[in-house]
Structure 1
Amino acid sequence: MDTPNFASQSGAKRERSPSNESSPAKRQAVELPATESRPSVPAWSRCKHLDDAQRLATKERALVRAEENCGRLAERLLSAAKDTQGRPGDSAEVIGEEIIMKWCKEYETICENHRNYGVRVGVEGPTGAGKSSFLGSLLRIEELLPSSQEAAATAVVAEVSWNYNDTPGYELCAEIRFRELVDVRDDLALLLTEMRNLKILEYLEFETSEDREEAIANANTIVKYELPKATAIWGMQRPALCKYANKCTNKVATQAVVSEILNKNSAVSELLNSRIKYLHSSDHRAFSRAIRPYLDSTKGLHGGSIKFSAWPLVDKVDIFVKSEILKAGIRLVDLPGCGDAMDSRDRIAQGFRDQLDIRMVVSPIYRAADEKNSRDLMQNGFRQLQLRMSGQLGPNSFCAILSKMDEITVNSYINGTEGLQDDEETLEKLTRSKELTEMKANIEKGSKAGKSRFQNVQSAATGQGDRTRDINMNLQVSEAIELATGAALTDATKAIQAQDGQEKQVALEIDRLKNWLHHKASETRNSRVKERIHDNFLTLQDEIDVDGDGLNADEVSWLPAFPVSSRAFWELEMGDDPMVGFPTQRFTGIPAVERWLHESTLSSREKHLDLMLGRYRNLMGRMSTYSQAQNPDQNFRFTRTQVELALFSSHKTFLQRINDMFATYAHEIKTMDPLAERKRSAITRFSKDSRKIVERWIYKYPEDECRVEKLAWRTHEAILRRGGNVFTSNGQTTITYAWLEELQVPGTPILTFHQADRLRASSILKSIVGVWDATINQKLPNLRKPILEKLKAIWGDYMDDLASAIQNFAPQLVAEFDKILPIMRREKYVIAGEIGMTLDRLSEKAGAGSSRIVPLMEEQLKPTFRVALDITGTGALKARHEIITRQVKSDMEPICRGVLKGLSCELHKHKSSIPGELKTIAGMARHNVESQITTLLNNLLDNDGIDTTTQGRKEQLQADVRDILSQWEIDWSSYVDGSEHILGRESGIPESIDDFFK
């Protein structure tokens, strides 16, 4: 199939929102009880008593219906507003053109807010672990993302989100975002410079041969990182690039060479200058082929005449598809495999992790507890403390995916596993399976003999008939022979049928036993691997909590782990015969992961749904007021402007009170300082721990106090030049050094040569993480309750003040004003949702401050490292180490204070935005109330003296709006049966397989 003609998706029709039903006929609804049948009280606002599945299904459908009905309203209103253009008189004012345009603008804003919402779920793990296949199973789209089976695994970050584009041909869309041209030039310049430096190293003198080897190896580290990118783009191998590197004698010459290489393929510059490329298709296989060259090492023309791999030019790929799991706002992120042969891909994944809300670490189940890269991802102490600071360390934000569950040799596992090898039921079924297998072989042998006898009898009967005709036997003899032959044939047929039935029955029994044994072995392994992972996880929690901060038991009581088999899933999904041990998709583990994702994101998604639905309800209320039919004989002696002036004082008083209240809590938030309480202890501990850590920086194996081999001076220098950040030495032994992280969490198991069994006493991060978590992730969100209680009182007074002002100035409006009071009173729930979201965002931003600790430490140590690097010549390693240890020891307290001050400034920056955000919420609250009142006044007071044509057009518009609102109220009047929702279905791997073979 030819590659489709992909084009930009700009200007394409946008779908309003995904629905849980493909058509109205498929809706499943339960009508509200008669006592709760008021259509003005939507089911979604009164469903707290329902279970998660029914509640979420009700709210999700309500949001879909709200978008649909608002879309219809907007279309009708804009048509009416457009119709007033060019008409004489006050048509625009009578129709309420300004009100209409504001309403439609708010509708667009709500839609945009909903589409921008998403929970990022990162899928990461070792290359070849089955990440892409697992993602394809969740998406129900096979081979959407590249697999490492072709040695071309995902090389860039790919984020998959729900596709709101409903235009035919745009069912699958992608946005490829390219890197800056200057960054690509810098990468190429660095590669050429380091390749030239390698040549220079060959002529330098070293104290030992090991120093020489290590210096060359470290120089090769950069080359190893950058070379695959240059080779992918320009197709040049190392020898060809070395020729260019020889010309790079200075910066000017290097830039000239870089330009020369770039000019070899103009398509590279064209891609980078385009910044974004759009692709779309309706066929997932054609779409996959089209996006693959931007995700992995697949070569393509990319608009030029030379084929090359574009992945080093790509910053990120955003993919939009219509997949069930994405409907609720879940966004799946495929990260390049860690431990990839191409180090550059590994670093891409590391750099994106801070942007994730939920992390899933994938590793083959048969090595999940021991595979180094998976273990580091799940057990890295420094990373776990960062997750705890950001509130992301818990069973709802972190899990292990144990892939390739189907890969197990059942008999060998049973015979070699304690607990199975002496389990009576298992041994009985294993023995029975062997007996039945032998029985089946005997039956097949007997069946073969029976069929042979049948053929002999049949042949004999045919021959006998011929003979009787040949010798003209008498009729009586002939009949006797035929009867005897027929009986023999009948007996032979019955024997074959009996053998076939017995063989079929035995085969079914063998199949049942095979499935039982496979399931038993698989589930045993599943539970044991999960237990090992969990024990390792809890051990680490105990070790990083030596300060007694008291990790929340609910947070870390269990690390979710889900065994899965993507292969077995797709066998069933495609309608093929199921694999042994996997009779239904539940046994593959994929549905269990889907449910966990929905459960983990439930709180965030439900808050978002409540906020969106509250906003839509306000829009509904405003249109309800706008569309009310009025008595044409009413005659008011005041204008809309006069009434609005009479209410100005009430609005002003409310705004002052709510802003004062917000200011009080903003000040309380400002005074929350999780660092103040532990500052002294953090400084003391850091001073104590860091001395010992820094003293070991001169050694090749800093964590092993029994090893005294010195670090090669080139390695030491390379680490210094990187400011103490992560550096991998590729000498005779591959070792990763992380000086700055080690200062935060001493003993963190990051070094590839060493598996730390215990973590030493904590440092800065460990000293503050507990109180930080308690303040930012627990105390801060708890402010919501007292704020909302104050808001409730202030809002009630606001409504009463407005009612009183109307009563005093325009008593004729009281009856009409009372109709909109319930609508305006409900506005406080929307404001409450906005406040909650604001506090949640602050907590998230503040928690992300943990990622600043290493840069802050680097900033503090930079002057010392710079002085050390100035030392050259014989004995430089020892002199550098002495100045570092001396300086760090004397400046421990200032260094720690500098880091804590930087963290405090970062936190203060986020907290300083709160007053402005709360003030915006207050202003929005007043605006919404004023808009509701303005809509009412327009309907009552802006109709005097209008011509009958305009009056008729407005009345028709109001009638049309009422019809749409009536349907909207019906759509919102019923609960949804949640039995088909993922949260309402059985999804875990069944304990027993017997029920599926009855």
Structure 2
Amino acid sequence: MVIDETALRAGLHSPSAERIKLIEAKEAAVIKALKILKTIHDKFRAASFEPIDMDLPAWRLRLSELDKKQKGFQHRVGILGDTGIGKSSLLNALVSEKADIAPSSQNGACTAAICCFEYFEPPDSSKKYRAKIDYKSKSEVDKELNHFFAELKVFESQETSESQHDAVAQAERNRFGDNLNIISNWSGLPTEKLRTLGLGSQSGKITLDCVDGKRFFDYEHPDKSKTETFYSPTPQAFLQSIKPFAGSGGKKSKDKMIWPVVRLVHVYVQADVLRSGVVLIDLPGLMDALDSRSQIARDFYNKLHSRIIVTPGDRACDNRTAMSMLQQDQILDLDTDGKMNQDSLCIATSKVDLLDWQNFVESEISPDEVSPRFQLLYQEYEQKNQRLQEVNGEIQDLKEEGGGSTPIDFETKSYDSKKRASSTTTSAYLGSTDESRILHSLFNERKELELQTAKLKGMCHYECIQARNRHSKEALQEKFDKVRNSSREDGAPQVHTELTVFPVSSKAHRLLAKGEPDPAFPDAYATGVQALKDWIIRGSLEAREKNADHLFSMAQVLLDEVDGWIMDGCQIVVKLAAAELPKIKALIQELLNVLEKRLKASHVKLHGGIENLPPNQLKSHNKFDSELAKGFVGHVNNYQISTTTGKKIHCASYLALIRRRGGQFLSQGQHGKETHDLRSRLYIYFWGPRVAMWTTAFQNTLPQLGTVAEAENEESIKAHVLGIQQSPNLHQVFKEAFEERSSRLDNLLAEYQTGLDDLLTTYEASVAEIKKSANDLLDKAMIPVYDAARDQKGTGATMRQYAAMEEGARRIQSKIFPRVSKGLSRKLESVRNKLEKEHERMLLSLIDKIKVMLTSLASMLCLSKNHEADGLMSPEQILEFRSSLTTSFQVWKREMSISKSLFTAHAKEGPQPERNIKTEAGASDLGLIAVMATTSNALQSATSPVFGTPTESDTSREGHDKLPSISTSSEEQATNTRFFREKFPVHLLDRAQTEHGESAPPMADLPPFRRESLGL
């Protein structure tokens, strides 16, 4: 059997092509719906007309909100990694095939500011690349400078301490010097002046006296930030322009460095991986010499949806590379926030092309440990290589026998041409025709062997890369699980999530793009870059689909409101007596009261369940607090010990941690770099026991409560529909008109349900932020403890610092955790109340929209012509305006009907490929009525004179029989469908346009290994 290796590699990582098609179709449907709604908006504006029975200003406002939501969708993917490990090269490979646009780490440079790579459609070739720089405000920079000089002042005041005269202290001293040079670089002020101002508590004058201050800061509004935008026609010009804002030129660079005053760099580029709202974010290291800058990166880190940790392939298992990029408190946050899954976190091992596979096999692993396939390839490679050496030897022997007279171009000529040449110039060849034939044969064999060995070497190289990746993955997995479970409560079940690890060669990918592939990386999947792109896309699919569903339901409701005014006004031709209107409205209100009561009961049940979640109960937290207090002093004493090495932290590093009040510190001593973070250790100590409670409540119970509420809401709406249908007091004419429009009720329910889902998602995000805010509450409680330790100076200061920390811990041990828990409870109560109020507003809005829909329909059925008026327009003018929109509106409705089939075919229970959608293009969608109405009622309503196209014998249209019907010509239908044929999955479109469409399961034609790898 021949195995398509490219297809195999693609199948292992690529998301379901069918699902991508569906989601892209949904997104296209939303864009199409927006276009339709904007066209309607423009027609109303052009006519300078606002109907009295339609709230057009509110409709416009909701359309604007819909447009903003569609354009503002983002799926943020963070790229994390240390300097010089290939992070920027990987980013370049992801967003730009042939040229760099992200600053790389060559010559000691590094990415120093946060860079967001976003999609961009260039207006012309001169503006192919765009960047927007968000500067920090003057107040923000002043605060950073105050922190820096305060720390420098403390450091220099302790120069006589015994901890200040060794390599670790010298490294810290150098770091302060480097930062002074950086400040001097962007401000244009000499370091002497900086020291005078900063140490003299006049840091604000540094930003005032800054050479380019007017460019960076708004002096009149110091709390406001400025922005700067520029374009470039070529990647080379763009890269040079962006470097000062995004990257540091290294210690010896004399280039202008603006990044310290930059909050964010937006890089806009036309890259496929960014096309659907994906934003790739290059995050600088979280361990900065300035703790305030480090906090900016951490705050942004918390907003990520997915994370890619980049680590060099040869050091992937090193605890100071991959694992140091994800701190223990961050792992805890991912765990409690439900983001510890294969779509939210992966590791990319970079520079895998540098693997010396032959040395790897000889010194680190045996051939049989690589793979069964490698053994065969390696055996064949050695045989071919041995034969190649033999052929080279034979050629050399023949050359020597012939006196070295073989022409240089011998290999490039064919044997036949040489044979012909020998009749006239025999001196060009070795002695005889037999010898030349042998030599020619050997040259051909050598050429073939060289090609074969090169290919075999590439295949062996690839197999070794995969073998090392498996080994790296196992080691990383072990460390990852160990770190993850170490913070869990004693006795809690151990957790495990399989890591996704991609071996990546950005260099090989760039060579491939240039048409010069490395034999070990013959395609984009072999380089790992395409597999990583697939992972990014797969991780965004759920959010994209959820967003499209919500936006389309909003668009459908907006269209229904216009439909109620345009189409109903033209097509309702049999009207009831005006005296019937009060009766119908009263009956409608009675039914709405019942609906409101049911919906409010569901509302109360939902929010009662949320209030009773254990994390929302203070007593649930207090049971942990008393136990934590018992071990708190011992916990603080353990700050003297490194969590990485288990050894005592160097006194200079400990002092730096005290100066930073427990904030992150990266020590650089004789044993290399080591990260310390006392704040995160306390955060883990506080949250570790709560992880299981928090995760169960907000990742399991909360979604279940939402699902139950949605099911109850749907049952309530069905009961309301049934109440209208079976009411003995409502006129049959009204019932039939309502049945024809019942899909509008479906759309209102869909908008409400997706809105509720969004509310719960927002609530969940708010809860996650509150969890992280425990850091601030804990830090506040620890400030006096750190400050007391910081004040210890002179000989023996380190031991006195230890004692001060212990004494401070004893002083607050009974208070710190109950106070933090109480603060969290107040915040949780606040966001819970906000959720409840917003949900109540949505519920009342739903009831009001249903009421408007039903009463408007009743008014149209009951009002006479003379009673209908809109502002300055006469009834005749209103009818003419409606009629002018009718033809276009019929086409729009048909397009929306086809689009809607995509959303109804794939409801929350998941894709159902075998399901038939019995919605004919252009026909009325009966919605929930279809579940309850009998066939005879449906047929009766379809031929009712109240709504729809009359037969030729129907004389009840009172002069309006020339209004266009719902059906359109075949040409219009073909034009209307072309867009959907191009954008939508064929099998879905066919099912939407036929009575009984049939479609094979979408993945049935995939080979077994691909179906299995995709979980199908």
Scaled by the length of structure 1, what TM-score is found? 0.76
CA apart distance, 1:335: 0.7
| Mean CA deviation greater in 764-773 or 861-870 | 861-870
The answer as to 2:498 corresponding to 1:569 is no
2:137 paired residue number:
180
1:659 paired residue number:
600
Mapped contact 1:362–1:401 kept (Cα < 8 A): yes
1:362 paired residue number:
310
1:525 paired residue number:
468
CA apart distance, 1:57: 1.4
1:388 corresponds, among 304, 313, 335, to 335
Post-superposition Cα deviations, 1:384-416, rounded to whole Å, max 9, x if no partner, equal: 222212222232211111111111112111111
CA apart distance, 1:118: 2.0
| Alpha-carbon separation, structure 1, partners of 2:264 and 2:556 | 37
Q: Which amino acid aligns with 1:793?
A: E
CA apart distance, 1:639: 9.1
2:51 corresponds, among 81, 86, 93, to 93
2:663 corresponds, among 714, 717, 725, to 725
1:68 paired residue number:
32
Mapped contact 1:156–1:311 kept (Cα < 8 A): yes
| Alpha-carbon separation, structure 2, partners of 1:165 and 1:795 | 47
1:689 corresponds, among 615, 631, 635, to 631
1:589 paired residue number:
528
CA apart distance, 1:223: 2.6
2:349 corresponds, among 398, 402, 408, to 402
Post-superposition Cα deviations, 1:464-483, rounded to whole Å, max 9, x if no partner, equal: 9xxxxxxxxxxxxxxxxxxx
Matched residue SS, 2:661: coil
CA apart distance, 1:150: 4.4
CA apart distance, 1:53: 3.2
Mapped contact 1:156–1:345 kept (Cα < 8 A): no
| Alpha-carbon separation, structure 2, partners of 1:128 and 1:705 | 28
Post-superposition Cα deviations, 1:648-673, rounded to whole Å, max 9, x if no partner, equal: 44445433432332123212211212
1:262 corresponds, among 204, 210, 215, to 210
**Which runs of structure 2 are paired with 1:701-850 in the superposition (5 Å)?**
711=651, 719-727=657-665, 737-745=676-684, 763-802=685-724, 808=729, 811-850=732-771
1:220 paired residue number:
173
**Which runs of structure 2 are paired with 1:379-458 in the superposition (5 Å)?**
380-420=327-367, 425=376, 427-439=378-390, 441-442=392-393, 445=396, 451=407
Q: Which amino acid aligns with 1:918?
A: H
Matched residue SS, 1:362: strand
CA apart distance, 1:810: 5.2
Q: Which amino acid aligns with 1:602?
A: L
Matched residue SS, 2:354: coil
Mapped contact 2:94–2:273 kept (Cα < 8 A): yes
1:54 paired residue number:
18
CA apart distance, 1:891: 4.2
Q: Which amino acid aligns with 2:176?
A: V
2:277 paired residue number:
329
Mapped contact 2:572–2:861 kept (Cα < 8 A): no
1:231 corresponds, among 176, 184, 203, to 184
Structure 1 residues 283 and 703, CA gap change in structure 2 (3 angstroms): closer
Mapped contact 1:685–1:764 kept (Cα < 8 A): no
Scaled by the length of structure 2, what TM-score is found? 0.75
| Mean CA deviation greater in 102-111 or 172-181 | 102-111
CA apart distance, 1:872: 7.1
| Mean CA deviation greater in 51-60 or 875-884 | 875-884
Structure 1 residues 864 and 410, CA gap change in structure 2 (3 angstroms): closer
Matched residue SS, 2:45: helix
CA apart distance, 1:797: 2.8
CA apart distance, 1:790: 1.6
Structure 1 residues 110 and 255, CA gap change in structure 2 (3 angstroms): closer
1:964 paired residue number:
892
1:114 paired residue number:
70
2:880 corresponds, among 945, 952, 955, to 952
Gaps of 5+ in 1: 1-50, 86-90, 300-305, 465-483, 746-762, 991-998
The answer as to 2:195 corresponding to 1:245 is yes
Matched residue SS, 1:562: strand
Mapped contact 1:729–1:735 kept (Cα < 8 A): yes
1:606 paired residue number:
545
Matched residue SS, 2:265: strand
Post-superposition Cα deviations, 1:23-80, rounded to whole Å, max 9, x if no partner, equal: xxxxxxxxxxxxxxxxxxxxxxxxxxxx9532441232133134224314422x2343
CA apart distance, 1:824: 0.7
Tell me the percent identity. Answer: 18
Mapped contact 1:592–1:987 kept (Cα < 8 A): no
Q: Which amino acid aligns with 1:57?
A: K
Mapped contact 1:121–1:357 kept (Cα < 8 A): yes
| Mean CA deviation greater in 419-428 or 666-675 | 419-428
| Alpha-carbon separation, structure 2, partners of 1:564 and 1:900 | 44
Q: Which structure is richer in relative contact order (CA contacts within 8 A, separation 6 or more)?
A: 1
The answer as to 2:43 corresponding to 1:80 is yes
CA apart distance, 1:626: 4.4
Matched residue SS, 1:824: helix
Mapped contact 1:117–1:329 kept (Cα < 8 A): yes
Q: Which amino acid aligns with 1:181?
A: K
| Alpha-carbon separation, structure 2, partners of 1:231 and 1:415 | 52
CA apart distance, 1:315: 0.5
CA apart distance, 1:595: 2.4
Structure 1 residues 640 and 371, CA gap change in structure 2 (3 angstroms): farther
1:475 paired residue number:
none
Post-superposition Cα deviations, 1:235-262, rounded to whole Å, max 9, x if no partner, equal: 55xxx312552466743xx258526632
The answer as to 2:840 corresponding to 1:889 is no
1:312 paired residue number:
260
2:610 corresponds, among 657, 664, 669, to 669
Gaps of 5+ in 2: 1-14, 867-873, 902-980, 989-1001, 1011-1016
Mapped contact 1:339–1:373 kept (Cα < 8 A): no
Matched residue SS, 2:376: helix
Post-superposition Cα deviations, 1:7-37, rounded to whole Å, max 9, x if no partner, equal: xxxxxxxxxxxxxxxxxxxxxxxxxxxxxxx
Structure 1 residues 439 and 831, CA gap change in structure 2 (3 angstroms): farther
1:515 paired residue number:
458
Post-superposition Cα deviations, 1:875-925, rounded to whole Å, max 9, x if no partner, equal: 776566445424533642322222322333333333222211211321332
| Alpha-carbon separation, structure 2, partners of 1:404 and 1:485 | 49
Mapped contact 1:415–1:421 kept (Cα < 8 A): no
Matched residue SS, 1:668: helix
**Which runs of structure 2 are paired with 1:534-549 in the superposition (5 Å)?**
534-545=477-488, 547-549=490-492
CA apart distance, 1:740: 3.6
Matched residue SS, 1:400: strand
| Alpha-carbon separation, structure 1, partners of 2:204 and 2:622 | 54
Structure 1 residues 72 and 691, CA gap change in structure 2 (3 angstroms): closer
CA apart distance, 1:948: 5.0
| Alpha-carbon separation, structure 1, partners of 2:174 and 2:770 | 30
| Mean CA deviation greater in 259-268 or 948-957 | 259-268
Mapped contact 1:670–1:912 kept (Cα < 8 A): no
CA apart distance, 1:976: 0.9
Structure 1 residues 701 and 650, CA gap change in structure 2 (3 angstroms): closer
Q: Which amino acid aligns with 2:462?
A: H
CA apart distance, 1:611: 2.0
